[in-house]
Amino acid sequence: MSTISDVGKLAGVSKATVSRVINNKGHVKESTRKAVFDAMEQLHFKPNSLARALANNSSNSIGLILSVFDGDYFGELLSQAAKLADQAGKQLFVTDGHNDPKREIEAIESLVDRRCDVIVLYSRYLSEQDFIDIKKRIQIPIVVINRHLGVQSYPAVCFDQEHAARLAVNQLLDMNHKQIACITSPLNASSGVLRLKGYQDALAQRNIPENKDLILEGHNLIVSGYDACKKLLRSGVSFTAIFACNDDMAIGAIKALTEAGLKIPEDVSIFGIDNDPIGSYITPTLSTVELPITEMTSTAIKMALDLACGKEVEGGTKEFRGKLIVRDSIRYI
């Protein structure tokens, strides 16, 4: 069985440096930190969680709350969080908020009962006031993913939803599409509202009037994209492109269009958001906006690890932006 001495020898550092890296204490250069983690992985060395918890008077654990457990997006988030927690020698307790504000609060309280050192919360439905109220009641540090919060509440990491929608819609506008339908995400969530706003802003900037008949609300599932597109086709309203606010709904829309005898992109162009891996394997391949979920998760977990060991982390939000991925589902007209 490998020891700290073995790790230090392989990494070319002292036992004290290895200890600082494991406990996330003191100043250690990033290159040194990487060398220690690489050595730990090569030697299959895992710090003794119980011993560390007793030494640091903590539970040595991170709580992670997701909205749901479905889909590649949350799978990648969970995988990255688990990897980083493992590298830091932390236990990871995972639960979900069931896409419901009351259940999100219950999930926070359950992780408080588990005495987690810090909680990472992916939230869709809690309001800014909810976060302020939680901060008054709960002393455990919380890092929030997916929400843009003020400095008076919690440190947060979020994705620029409006920018992502503008990227997609502007690409379609640049390809001469003017009648662009939009299948929104749920509009009782901030991300759904912001993506719709990005769509609306892109049209307004090109002086294209908004047609409310071209906007249908979906629920982020393939079937809701399919149903919304069927409704759009039945309405008889004219459109040359569809912007779906996530890839699953875009894929559902593709099925509805294909069943109606329409070709993509010859008859209708389709754009999504997420860069779900399946998008590059369907026919035609799906144009989308990639979310930097790995980088966002890494940033949130690093904040959480710093908070867990008593370091100061600035409040407010660190915002990330998406990347345009143009594939075969769109064309110039």
Q: Does 333 map to a domain?
A: no
Q: Are residues 258 and 299 in the same domain?
A: no
Q: What is the CATH number of the domain that holds 40?
A: 1.10.260.40
Asked if the structure places residue 118 within a domain, the reply is yes
In which domain, by residue range, is 199 found? Answer: 161-291
Q: Both 298 and 256 in a single domain?
A: no
Dist. CA 185–CA 218, nearest whole Å: 5
**pLDDT at residue 24 in the model:** 66
Does a structural domain hold residue 234?
yes
Q: Residues 236, 138: one domain?
A: no
State the Cα–Cα distance between residues 195 and 192, nearest whole angstrom: 5
Report the candidate in 161, 114, 166 with the shortest Cα–Cα distance to residue 138.
114
Return d(Cα 193, Cα 66) in angstroms, integer: 20
Say yes or no: 245 and 174 in one domain. Answer: yes
On whether both 144 and 250 belong to a single domain, the answer is no
Structure tokens at 72: 């590649």
Helices (H), 114-189: 128-137, 161-174
Instruction: Indicate whether 116 and 127 sit together in one domain.
Output: yes
What is the token pair recorded at 292? 């930097």
Q: Identify whether 254 is part of a domain.
A: yes
Q: Is residue 20 part of a domain?
A: yes
Report the candidate in 288, 284, 285 with the shortest Cα–Cα distance to residue 272. Answer: 288
Helices and strands (H and E) in the chain: how many: 12, 12
Residues of the chain with pLDDT under 70: 1, 24-26, 47-58, 150-152
Helix (H) or strand (E) run with residue 216 in it: strand 215-217
Residues 217 and 278 in one domain: yes
Number of domains making up the chain: 3
Task: Find the largest Cα–Cα distance for the chain.
Answer: 72
Q: Return d(Cα 192, Cα 288) in angstroms, integer.
A: 16
24 φ/ψ angles, rounded to the nearest 5 degrees: 55, 45
Which pLDDT score is estimated for 321?
A: 96
Is residue 146 domain-shared with residue 167, that is, in the same domain? no
Helices assigned H by DSSP within the chain: 4-11, 15-23, 30-42, 49-56, 71-87, 101-113, 128-137, 161-174, 190-205, 222-235, 247-259, 293-308
Write out the two tokens for 11. 């990494």
Q: Identify whether residues 128 and 209 lie together within a single domain.
A: no
Q: What is the pLDDT of residue 152?
A: 66
Considering the domain architecture, whether residues 153 and 65 belong to the same structural domain is answered as yes
Question: Sign (positive/negative) of CA torsion 302, 308, 314, 316?
Answer: positive
Residue 16's pLDDT is 82
* Domain CATH code at residue 301: 3.40.50.2300
Residue 267: per-residue pLDDT = 98
pLDDT tens, residue by residue, 32-61: 888 888 888 888 887 655 445 444 556 789
Residue with tokens 């230090």: 8
* Contact (CB, 8 A) for 59 and 276: no
Residues 190 and 84 in one domain: no
**Do 244 and 307 reside in the same domain of the chain?**
no
The per-residue pLDDT for 290 is: 96
What gap in Å lies between CA 28 and CA 36, rounded to an integer?
A: 10
The predicted pLDDT at position 37 comes to 85
Tell me how far apart the alpha carbons of residues 220 and 212 are, in angstroms, rounded to a whole number: 20
Question: Per residue in 83-139, pLDDT tens?
Answer: 999 988 899 999 988 888 899 999 999 999 888 999 999 988 888 888 888 888 888
Q: How far is CA 161 from CA 191, 211, 244, 285, in A?
A: 6, 21, 13, 23
d(CA 136, CA 77): 28
